[in-house]
Structure 1
Amino acid sequence: MNNYSKSGFTLVELSVVLAISAIILAFAIPGTANLLNHSGRHTALSDLIATLNLARNTAINEQTTVTLCAIGNDSKCANDWSLPIVAFRDPTRSKQIKHDSQIVRVMHPIETGRLVVRSGIHNYFRFQSSGWSRGTLGHFIWCPDSDDNHYAAQVRINMGGRPQMARDYDGDGVVEDASGDPVTCEGI
């Protein structure tokens, strides 16, 4: 007499499980891409806004000038905003870090998407002891790796030095810039 039982899946059972798994994956993959875009956006913007607010608050609390810029290997403000962005005390307005004690906060390069910065003719933002950012106005645009404008975000720095998130006023799912035009990731 045989005391063992045969166990396993039939070909039909295996085919059904694979078909159901394929259907679930077909719905889950686009959701995962959306989750990654939202997560990358949230991480980048949270860090950026925290850095901007800390730079402004430090300028006010310590009654000094604070500069925020991308820092090159020479510890000077650079034009390449993919480098680390540093907020530092800059009472002489030299746009250069001469000692580590000047550093207020370092924002490491973002891991998802890209950050595009428009700061007029300057390669920095400066916060005066009043908190104002007069003369160094501009904005940051975050774009996802997919360049989907629906996930793009813009943070503007107003004259008072406060960061402001762009909003979608016309309900099309894309935020508008200060001129009312949709923020676009193509070509930037």
Structure 2
Amino acid sequence: MGWRGFTLVELLIVLAVGSILLAIAVPGYGFLVNNNRLATVTNDLVTVLHLARSEAIRRGVRVTVCKTGNPGAVTPTCDVAAEWHEGWLVFVDAGMRGMIDADDLLLRVQEAAHPDTKITSRNYDDYISYLPNGRSQGSSGLANGRIKICVAGTRRDIVINITGRPRLDSGVC
């Protein structure tokens, strides 16, 4: 009975085929990961916008979503110098508009998105508030606007109409 096994040539052929398959699969996997990141951030932001709007209507008060540079702080605060991808807060905004005061009730804290994520906005540079009637109002004072979320060249927009309802749109970064 002879020895059974692979020859060196067979082993090299298997390694070459495996390397070629891996080289084809890795870029596709990166695309999948980036699309998943984009969908996750978009869903997180749309979820908090729906939460803020429904809480404003339910409680009969202003509810605000603002960006924060340190969502993990013991008492997180809104930060106009921060970027939206660093995290955001949802709170009942009873005091100074767009800023968390001692009287405000914090409803939700969102941790930072992946560093490759870029979130920009028009009319909502610092915060977006929802009034008791469900209408939105941005830090610019306007009701409607657009939040652009980009990950690796792929973009999804959250378009908020004058009644405060968000919808999704797509574009190019």
User: Would the TM-score normalized by the shorter structure come out above 0.5?
Assistant: yes
2:50 is aligned to 53
Gaps of at least 5 residues in structure 2 are 71-75
The one-character-per-residue Cα deviations of 1:43-72 (angstroms, maximum 9, x if unpaired) are 111111111110111101111101111135
Matched, 1:109 2:112: yes
What RMSD in Å do the two structures reach over aligned CA positions? Answer: 2.4
CA distance in 2, matches of 1:129, 1:123: 20
The CA distance in 2 between the partners of 1:90 and 1:123, in whole Å, is 14
Corresponding position of 2:155:
152
Alignment-derived partner of residue 166 in structure 2: 163
Look up the match of 1:137.
144
Q: Does the CA contact (< 8 Å) of 2:135 and 2:143 recur in 1? A: no
Deviating more after overlay: 110-119 vs 50-59: 110-119
One-letter amino acid matched to 1:70: K
**Unaligned stretches of 5+ residues in structure 1:** 167-174, 176-182
TM-score, normalised to structure 1's length?
0.76
Q: Is the CA contact 1:59–1:127 (under 8 Å) kept in the aligned structure 2?
A: yes
Task: Give the number of aligned pairs.
Answer: 163
Give 3-state SS (helix, strand or coil) of 2:86's partner.
coil
The SS at the match of 2:162 is coil
Is the contact made by 1:90 and 1:102 (CA closer than 8 Å) also made in structure 2?
A: yes
Amino acid at match of 2:77: S
Runs of 4+ in 1 over 4 A off after TM superposition: none
Q: Percent identity?
A: 30
The structure carrying a bigger strand percent of its residues is 2
Cα pair distance change 1:119/1:136, threshold 3 Å: farther
Shift of 1:89: 0.4
Q: Give the aligned partner of residue 80 of structure 1.
A: 82
Q: CA deviation at 1:80?
A: 1.8
Counterpart-to-counterpart distance in 1, 2:8 and 2:79: 65
With over 3 angstroms needed to count, the CA separation of the structure-2 counterparts of 1:8 and 1:122, relative to structure 1, is closer
Kindly report which structure 2 residues correspond to 1:61-72, keeping only aligned pairs within 5 A, or say none.
Answer: 61-72=58-69
Which residue of 32, 35, 39 corresponds with 1:42? Answer: 39
